[in-house]
Amino acid sequence: MNTKSNLFREVSAEAIRDIFVHALQKDIIWEAALLDGGLFNTTYLVEYGPSPFFIV
């Protein structure tokens, strides 16, 4: 990840939640992790939804 790039910008968990509410109407965010990579953008892995675990 190129943190010196003008395109790199970390965002807060609140901002990620706001994006998911606006785009997907989902407001439960379990985890958001900044990923390596993303030459021209900043990439996050976001786990969201009613439950991050499967009950068998």
Coil/strand/helix, residue 35:
coil
* pLDDT attached to residue 56: 56
Query: Does the predicted TM-score (pTM) go above 0.85?
Result: no
Q: What is the C-alpha separation between 28 and 56, in angstroms, rounded?
A: 22
- Are the C-beta atoms of 20 and 36 separated by less than 8 Å? no
Higher pLDDT, 2 or 25: 25
Burial class (CB in 10 A: 0-12, 13-18, 19+), 1: middle
Tell me the pLDDT tens digit for each residue of 15-50.
988 988 899 888 788 888 888 876 677 888 888 877
